Amino acid sequence: MNIGILGTGSIARTMAAEFAKVPAFRCEAVCSRQQATGEALAQQFGIPKVYTDYDAMLADPDIELVYIATPNSLHYGQTKAALLAGKNVLCEKPFVPTVAEADELIALAKEKHLFLFEAITTAHHPNYALAKQYLDDIGSLRIVSCTFCQYSSRYDALLSGQVPPVFDPACCGGALMDLNLYNVHFVVGLFGEPVLVSYHPNLYRNGIDTSGILLLEYPDFLCQCTGAKDCAAPGSVQLIGDAGRILIEPGSSNCQKLRLVRPGQEDLCSEYSESPWFYEVAEIAMILALKDYDACYAALKKTRQVVTVLEAARGDAQLGF
């Protein structure tokens, strides 16, 4: 399937490299506001076409799928435009800020019989499936703890007086939407929506959350999700039951290592060496090849649940977008 890449940031480069590993995909075009940045990406990955106008790329009959890798606040409008142009869409996380926008895009994709995906590594990793398989082995689940704290170089820019998009409320930035989202995807993908959501952020003076703790309450267990861009710590997910625990490292965005720990029994370990994006791209390629709309719609259902939780969290913390 021929791909048109919208955006030229670091994640666009990462995904272009992953697309190149999967024979089912071919990067046909890149679109950037600046010709020079588009040409640089195209030259690096052997992409034949460069556009500076999004509508022009959408009009290209050779483009079958648009990969959207732009600031968060642009995802809704750009995804809608691609669907209306008859293109399948892979949209970077976070999908959209509101449930109303998610519902509109999902309905439009179904109406036009197009594939629509949120680009999220967690759901496609083999160890994520294994974590679900091992849940019964740890007894009654009591506590879930997720930590994703990664100091951002752009935080230094924020402190110096600049406002990068990832720390701009107008761009739907912040630690919740950038990093803690992975924790939410991990938990909601396994257990569905919680019964209660509360978010406790550290706020910068422009109102953006640079870090925060999200509490999710389920009928039988509690979950805390910590996400930070203003400090760093080792990442992990722990699913803790009364008969054992599952440890995922280095965390919810990359389930590289899994360990099942039970008292009196030998630990069970699983480790994968490929990048987390590889599994995402490979599984999406398979869904597209099989024309498996049911798998696509199941993933969209989970995405909608995550959007619901994130919107509730921002509402609880009175974040201004």
In a domain, 145, yes or no: yes
278 and 163 share one domain? yes
Q: Domain with 59 in it: what CATH number? A: 3.40.50.720
CA separation for the pair 21, 285 (Å, rounded): 11
Tell which residue, 165, 200, 188, has the closest CA to residue 92: 165
- Cα separation, 19 vs 27, in Å, equals 7
Looking at the fold, whether 290 and 240 belong to one and the same domain comes out as: yes
- H helices of the chain, where? 10-19, 35-45, 54-58, 75-84, 99-111, 126-134, 153-159, 175, 181-191, 276-290, 293-317
The pLDDT, as a whole number, for residue 183 is 98
pLDDT tens track for 302-321: 999 999 999 999 999 999 77
CA–CA distance, 295 with 290 (Å, rounded to integer)? 10
Intervals of the chain under pLDDT 50: none
Same domain, residue pair 64 and 203: no
Tokens at 247, concatenated: 């440890």
**Domain with 70 in it:** 2-92
41 and 141 together in one domain: no
Asked whether residue 235 falls in the same domain as residue 187, the answer is yes
User: Are residue 144 and residue 48 in the same domain, yes or no?
Assistant: no
Choose among 218, 237, 243, 253: nearest CA to 131.
237
Based on the structure, what is the number of domains in the chain? 2
Closest by CA to 184, choosing from 220, 151, 215, 209, is 215
Is residue 176 a contact partner of residue 212, using CB atoms and an 8 Å limit? yes
What's this model's pTM, rounded to 2 decimal places? 0.97
pLDDT one-digit tens code per residue, 217-243: 999 999 999 999 999 999 999 999 999
For 172-196, how does the pLDDT look when each residue is reduced to its tens digit (9 = 90+)? Answer: 999 999 999 999 999 999 999 999 9
List pLDDT tens digits, range 276-290.
Answer: 999 999 999 999 999
Q: Among the three residues 71, 92, 113, which one is the final residue of a domain in this structure?
A: 92
Q: How far apart are CA 79 and CA 143, in angstroms?
A: 37
The residue among 68, 92, 116 that closes a domain is 92
- Going by DSSP bridges, is the β-strand pair 26-31/2-6 parallel, antiparallel, or unpaired? parallel
- The one-character DSSP state at 312 is H
Look up the CATH number of the domain holding residue 274: 3.30.360.10
Residue 281 maps to a domain: yes
Residue 37 lies in a domain: yes
Is 109 part of any domain?
A: no
Q: Are 282 and 178 members of one domain?
A: yes
